[in-house]
Amino acid sequence: MNAQKNTIVPDVTDLTEPQLNILLTTDDDDARPVYLSGNFNQWHTQDKRYEMEKIGNGLYHYKFAADFNYPDELLYKFTKGDWSEVEIDQYGNRTENRSCRQHKGIRKEHVERWRKNWLPFRKNFLPQIQLISDEFEMPQLNKKRKIWALLPHDYDQSSEHYPVLYLQDAQNLFNENAQFGNWEIDKKLAVMSEYKIGKIIIIAVEHAEQDRIKEYNVGKTVLGVGQGKKYIRFITDTLKPFVDKKFRTKPEREHTGIGGSSMGGLVSIFSGLLYPEVYGKLMIFSPSLWVVPKIDFSGVDFSEPADTKIYLYAGGDESATMIKHVKQFKNNLLKNEFISDKMKIKLSINNEGKHNETYWSDEFPKAIEWLYFNTKD
């Protein structure tokens, strides 16, 4: 264990139950909860069953359940909620997994620092960023568009096939010169790859600049008549078949997702509703639901596809109605008894969240992990 740097550890004689207790001290204390993540819960980072109890300043405790099934070797790490906030050493380096073989007593641990804002990240784990085309044909809209692929860092050294996520607004996803900042998904994917969370292909479609709103607007709304249905058909009928042919993808619906933020989130919702047989995962951040305050789900046919997973995020400092609309959308979707049996919806609310790339950036890895690599929730 690392030196505890004069951290005062209270008397723990009351922690003498016959099961294992972990007592954690940390020099870098803040309000975020601390979780255990390990080979006992598929390395999930926000598993409420393994949230540690804060019992003092920089002091946390966890007691394993009496019926906990210990692996031969207990491997684990401490995180503040995801891999962007995992423990690191005093120099900012990745730490090895902690190991324990005891099944009872007290185990004292110490964390020097926590990763913040996904920094530092290792460049050798950055995804391969490939420009698919500067002018990809969009026959449904009679336009052309710049489209990117972000491939796992070791794609060329592997024969593996990968799940795919189609994302809107590519200009703001990994472009360091983006006017309003970017999601930094390349850095996030690097950390996820380093920590072996899972690998995925991201297909990033640039928006239509001045026609962005029109292209993401589906049907007739308060914004007028949009081209959203044509855009969705382009992604579904033209782009996806091309991607599945060009790259080693897992083309089935259970491995295919679509997502975006704001109007990009709204068009992604309609993509899932119109083509549930294609998209089994939706990543919806701060959707512009005010555009269509009453979405009609009566025509949605979920009779054929298997379960659909929706990660739904909203910030409390975005608008006066954002959280209300998102919660109402979730409730309305689940009113249909058949649909509710088919859907898993993860609602994530950040009460301080604003309507910008910084907050969507923070949410991105949490959504990816839950949508694609979490098999329990």
Digits of tens for pLDDT over the chain (377 positions)?
A: 444 444 455 555 455 567 899 999 998 777 789 999 999 998 888 888 999 999 999 999 999 999 999 999 999 999 998 787 899 999 888 899 999 999 999 999 999 999 886 777 889 999 999 999 999 999 999 999 999 999 999 999 999 999 999 999 999 999 888 877 899 999 999 988 988 889 999 999 999 999 999 999 998 888 989 999 999 999 999 999 999 999 999 999 999 999 999 999 999 999 998 999 999 999 999 999 999 877 766 556 655 556 899 999 999 999 988 999 999 888 887 776 656 677 889 999 988 889 999 899 989 988 999 999 987 66
CATH of the domain spanning 123-373: 3.40.50.1820
pTM: 0.81
Strands 224-225, 220-221: pairing is antiparallel
Of 123, 43, 49, residue with least CA distance to 76: 43
> Which pLDDT score, from 0 to 100, does residue 116 have?
82
- DSSP lists the bridge partners of residue 82 as none
Q: CATH classification of 20-114 is 2.60.98, yes or no?
A: no
Within the chain, which residue ranges are assigned CATH 3.40.50.1820? 123-373
CA distance 292 to 274: 15
> Which pLDDT score, from 0 to 100, does residue 310 have?
95
Q: Which pLDDT tens digit goes with each residue over 95-128?
A: 999 999 999 999 999 999 998 867 778 899 999 9
CA distance 37 to 48: 10
> Which pLDDT score, from 0 to 100, does residue 7 have?
47
Within the chain, which residue ranges are assigned CATH 2.60.40? 20-114
Size (the chain), residues? 377
CA distances from 237 to 229, 254, 271, 274, 336 (A): 12, 17, 12, 12, 28
21: which residues sit within 8 A by CB, 6+ positions away?
Answer: 12, 15, 61, 62, 63, 64, 105, 106, 107
Residue type at 359 in one-letter notation: Y
Measured in whole angstroms, the distance separating CA 91 from the mean position of its chain's CA atoms is 27
Of 203, 233, 232, residue with least CA distance to 131: 203
CA distance 147 to 344: 30
CA distances from 263 to 167, 215, 292, 350 (A): 12, 9, 11, 19
Run of H or E including 365: helix 357-373
> Which pLDDT score, from 0 to 100, does residue 158 have?
95
> Which pLDDT score, from 0 to 100, does residue 171 have?
96
> Which pLDDT score, from 0 to 100, does residue 176 have?
86
CA distance 215 to 140: 11
SS3 214: helix
CA distances from 15 to 10, 58, 76, 98, 311 (A): 11, 18, 20, 21, 38
> Which pLDDT score, from 0 to 100, does residue 306 have?
64
> Which pLDDT score, from 0 to 100, does residue 340 have?
63
